[in-house]
Chains A and B, each alone.
Chain A
């Protein structure tokens, strides 16, 4: 009997082993570097050591931007951009609420898709990371000296800001196209007359001066869906390329009706010429209503300005400003190689990649090699602009980045793989499977003139069994590949926040040295700042009570306050007096219908508390600041509405 059991169990184990080999197991293990140790070593950053690269990965429907170390895959920070974040009081404190203002009012969420690092002379310069909000069309600036969102601009005449915020070579502009054509200007018309009546606007946003982000001009385009974009570099500097789909202009069952044309278009926009037309006064001032929100790092306060007009250029009035280049099958990614010579279109329903040549495009324009027009915009002949096709052997190409050594790497969603191919010969030289269904990919600096071609991050859309299960919803999985050799090698899986759509990366040397450690208290120009404990005070202005509070290890000043009454609006204006790195303090108040405040050294933040009952209510520091953090607390006494309790405050009395 014992013997029999043994035989049976061996058979079961063997069967299990065979199944594993036949199924996912074999596929899963195949591409990892031979020997687990070498893969582990390649991604290992020892305790106390620093990662070589920063990775900026969008949060998609989290509305935020995550910052990772590459190659370790360690999460450093989540920067709230379009979504409120109670952890950091973003969108909760009085200072940052205006950041989320739009023409539709305060919006606490958006769908953040594409981080884009600023560039100088076509190289990543580490100053800012831009990102788009797709739902209520917006673009944002994140200042990489403080890793906070400092500017958000709403985009009028847009129905979904997807092809954004890709930069030009010197961050002259970041661009924004609309993914959903809409009536421009908006009006009440039947949906089924969309074709010909809906339009798409391409916006060029001035972005090189913080605080002055503004739409330089919009180009009013046919009502296609503008999907992604990239600007030229080097010889092609001055042009921006947008992919389009739904050139069918279908208005319903788009998954079928938008996939009928054999070829859609890459819109090539000569923005230098657009600037010239703008200067000549060819633009029309179109009434609009859109918000510009700017967070001032000296006052620590964001303000909203509503803008009422936008300059719009019509291609019909501006010959030579826009051309269409045919590209098969609803292209998604549009990527320009580091030399600026090649424009790679990823027809997301096709097997092949389409590579157009910038030189041939210029020659075709000069030779007027047109194949008709679309709404008056000339269509260049496919063969006249095409440099080559990459016969990938895969299906569903989405996005291409470059390593600076003449190689390109394209993600394939449907065949779930990264394909490496050579520029100019167009031959496929390597391929590696992804787990599962990769969307975009990222090589640090991989869309600039100077990629750091060492690592590639794949952003997968499907996770399934890659991690321990956490119920129906799973984290999205990123995968890191070593691309320094001939063959791509999978070296790490790491989980990400939200749904990453796109990523950017940069060597630590262009970002880390600029990172601020504190805000200087002496430079704090917040109107309610309190720079010394002796100035800490409480003032009453009718029903408004303003507390000018300070915090320093390990106490608040004042820590006890009396004379607050039911029905008051109590403003806590709290200044962190610390001037040492990594010494934030937090503040929370029992019953306050808002988040905590988390205040950096030298910063002032404000929340409002409206006490509803009499009593004595505690507040405390929420950030473990010191050995006496637990003692960092205080009380507010709340008296009845008509009470004669005098305003009083103190510390250590």
Chain B
């Protein structure tokens, strides 16, 4: 169970999710990283460059300051780490189970929230955009890839996301293997 703590806290050091835009004139693609507390890219100017591209289709500027999740997610993840610490200390199986349920619910909520943002960016377009294609929306996939005009948008968990999954795998194992540890 104690392994879950550093893996959870890794979210402060690694991005949770990544969206890559691929097009022939962008060799290597343009990748945007979503962290629990910030949005970065493969260069320090990626966000500006994505916003410049997005303005042609009238998409809103992605401005990290206007996304409240980036403010309270760190608190949520910090809180989770505290709960995991408590779990390590009290070593109760029901507590492990409780954390598992909580994380599962959090993940579902998080994905839904991510979907809402994607929907908002993809649908709420400026009516005066230079490029308007009737019926076209630009919502990136929740997970997987999708062609959005000339760009192939690929949405996948990033390192932090995988480490967080690992954290929960360990949490789950702690729950399953709990009887074994008590036998010793």
Contact = CB atoms under 8 A, between A and B. Distances in A.
Interface of A: 518, 552-553, 578-580, 626-628, 631
B131 A627 contact: yes
Contacts of A631: 130
Nearest to A517: B43
Contacts of A627: 56, 130-131
Given A627-B131, A628-B130, A579 B45 contact: yes
Interface string B48-86: 110010001000000000000000000000000000000
A580 B45 contact: yes
Given A579-B45, A580-B45, A553 B131 contact: no
B152 to A, nearest CB: 18
B56 A628 contact: yes
Contacts of A626: 56
Counting chain B CB atoms within 10 Å of each CB, which of A579, A580, A626, A631 scores highest?
A: A580
Given A627-B56, A628-B56, A579 B49 contact: yes
Contacts of A579: 45, 48-49
A578 B131 CA distance: 20
Given A579-B45, A580-B45, A552 B52 contact: yes
Given A579-B45, A580-B45, A553 B130 contact: no
Contacts of A628: 56, 130
Interface string B120-162: 0000000000110000000000000000000000000000000
B24 to A, nearest CB: 11
Counting chain B CB atoms within 10 Å of each CB, which of A552, A579, A627 scores highest?
A: A579
B23 to A, nearest CB: 12
5 contacts: A518-B45, A578-B52, A580-B49, A627-B131, A628-B56
A578 B56 CA distance: 15
Contacts of A552: 52
Given A579-B45, A580-B49, A626-B56, 7 more contacts: A552-B52, A579-B48, A580-B48, A580-B52, A627-B131, A628-B130, A631-B130
B57 to A, nearest CB: 11
Interface of B: 45, 48-49, 52, 56, 130-131
Contacts of B56: 626-628
Nearest to B56: A627
A552 B53 CA distance: 11
Nearest to A601: B45
Q: What are the 7 tightest A-B residue pairs by CB atom distance, in nearest-first order?
A: A579-B45, A580-B49, A553-B52, A628-B130, A579-B48, A580-B45, A627-B56
Contacts of B52: 552-553, 578, 580
A149 to B, nearest CB: 27
B50 to A, nearest CB: 10
A518 B48 CA distance: 14
A553 B52 CA distance: 7
A628 B52 CA distance: 12
Contacts of B45: 518, 579-580
A580 B43 CA distance: 9
Counting chain A CB atoms within 10 Å of each CB, which of B48, B52, B56 scores highest?
A: B52
A210 to B, nearest CB: 25
A550 to B, nearest CB: 13
Nearest to B30: A580
B136 to A, nearest CB: 15
A628 B56 CA distance: 9
A90 B69 CA distance: 49
A553 B48 CA distance: 11
A580 B49 CA distance: 7
A251 B159 CA distance: 77
A531 to B, nearest CB: 13
A518 B52 CA distance: 16
Contacts of B130: 627-628, 631
A118 B22 CA distance: 39
A552 B49 CA distance: 10
Contacts of B48: 579-580
A265 to B, nearest CB: 55
A631 B45 CA distance: 25
A615 B111 CA distance: 58
Contacts of A580: 45, 48-49, 52
Contacts of B49: 579-580
A579 B49 CA distance: 7
Counting chain A CB atoms within 10 Å of each CB, which of B45, B48, B49 scores highest?
A: B45
